[in-house]
Amino acid sequence: MNEIVLETQGLTKYYGGILAVDHLDLKVPRGCICGFVGRNGAGKTTAIKLMLGLLRPTAGASKLLGCDSTALTPEIRQRIGYVTEGHRLFRWMSIGELEKFQRAFFPEQWDDKLFGDMIEYFELSRKRKIKHLSNGQRAQVSLALALAPNPELLIMDDPTLGLDAAIRRQFLEGMIELIMRQGRTVLFSSHILGDVERVADRIAVIDKGVLRANCSLDEFRTAVKKVILSFADSVPAEVDIEGLLHCRRSEKQLELTLVGTEEAQITEWAKSAGAEEYHSAKMNLEDQFIEFTAPANRKRLFQWEEV
Ligand code: ATP
């Protein structure tokens, strides 16, 4: 059994009449990089703020490193790193001043060498003022500040928003640098599925506040598939295959997008429907995510294995 470092149970948040997070049951095991993905307004930021105790839930609970999010002790907080959307930093400080300021909160665990190496890697100087940095450079400083205390659990809300491809890659490599140190865990929200595909080993999909998948990236990649069936005459009127997300028809072909359907079930259905042949179409993670979260597919939940 894997140790769970982040867990939510029935976590729910209403803003007045708006249901932003709906009975979220999320589990993140130690030692993974989990991509937290969802369309705009899906509830990612709200869920992250609830997990960090920055918002009060309407119902349900969440725990970080075994401690209830509404009562995180200073000792637990010191073991958690948080990078916010937009990288809010004191603009009037220099990088060196921010480093000193932040280090004071983590006297025992601050890694001077790591901070220095990251600043050098990002080609920044400690003398530079935050207000004179570009968005991407501010993101780099945020990451260095979040990694230097050596957090056991790093939570990042859309940390690469607005960054160019090269800087995003550097940023993600910085994240991998953290995870390579044994036992570290990262949860990061993102809209860039290519980034999630490159670095994450788990994926949590939230849609209109509901958790629709929470599994290994491999499991998700295998579960969502597209098959194209060819028919000699016309295509069948009814398509009643388990796990059907979407069906597109042409005169002699059916294109089915499925979730969690076994290969044997597809073969059997293709045979019973009188298909001449079928083959799988290639899908990258972005294609899979778009199909899986299309409004018409909203009711379908992927039944992932418990961690
Ligand atoms: P994005 O990817 O666009 O940043 P998100 O997944 O982070 O979105 P949230 O910011 O958590 O989504 O918003 C979830 C829902 O809650 C949205 O419908 C949003 O309009 C609503 N919401 C968020 N903050 C508030 C607030 N302070 N008051 C009222 N509604 C809010």
Give me the CATH topology for the region 222-293.
Alpha-Beta Plaits (3.30.70)
pLDDT band for position 142 (cuts 50, 70, 90): confident
Distance CA 139, CA 86 (A): 8
Beta strands at 185-190 and 27-29: parallel, antiparallel or unpaired = unpaired
pTM for the structure as a whole: 0.90
Cβ–Cβ under 8 Å, residues 76 and 63: no
- Name the percent of the chain lying above pLDDT 70: 95
20 close to ligand 1 (CB < 6 Angstrom): yes
Distance CA 259, CA 301 (A): 9
Atom index in ligand 1 nearest the CA of residue 49 equals 11
Centre of ligand 1 from the C-alpha of residue 20, in Å? 6
Q: Pocket of ligand 1, candidates 44, 52, 211: which has the most ligand atoms within 8 Å of its Cβ, to mutate?
A: 44
Atom index in ligand 1 nearest the CA of residue 206 equals 6
Q: Please return the burial class of 236, using the count of CB atoms within 10 Å of its CB with bins 0-12, 13-18 and 19+.
A: middle
Please give the span between the terminal C-alpha atoms of the chain, in angstroms, as a whole number.
7
Which range among 18-27, 84-93, 239-248 has the greatest average pLDDT?
A: 18-27
Centre of ligand 1 from the C-alpha of residue 36, in Å? 15
Number of neighbours of residue 198 by Cβ within 10 angstroms = 15
Centre of ligand 1 from the C-alpha of residue 67, in Å? 25
Q: How does the average pLDDT of the chain come out, rounded?
A: 89
Centre of ligand 1 from the C-alpha of residue 269, in Å? 41
- Closest CA to ligand 1's atom 25: 15
> In which element (H, E) is residue 186 found?
strand 185-190
- Closest CA to ligand 1's atom 14: 43
Of 9, 33, 11, 36, nearest to 22 (Cα)?
Answer: 11
* Backbone angles phi and psi of 76, in degrees to 5: -70, -45
45 close to ligand 1 (CB < 6 Angstrom): yes
40 close to ligand 1 (CB < 6 Angstrom): yes
pLDDT of 62: 97
Atom index in ligand 1 nearest the CA of residue 40 equals 3
For the stretch 125-131, contacts whose Cβ atoms lie closer than 8 Å and that sit 24 or more positions apart, written own/partner, are 125/95, 126/94, 126/95, 126/96, 126/99, 127/94, 127/95, 127/96, 128/94, 128/95, 129/91, 129/92, 129/93, 129/94, 130/89, 130/90, 130/91, 130/92, 130/93, 130/94, 130/95, 130/98, 131/91, 131/92
> pLDDT, tens digit, for every residue of 48-94?
999 999 999 999 999 999 999 999 998 999 899 888 866 677 888 89
- Domain assignments of the chain as residue spans, ordered by start: 4-208, 222-293
Cα-only R_g, the chain:
22
| CATH number for region 4-208 | 3.40.50.300
- Name the percent of the chain lying above pLDDT 90: 57
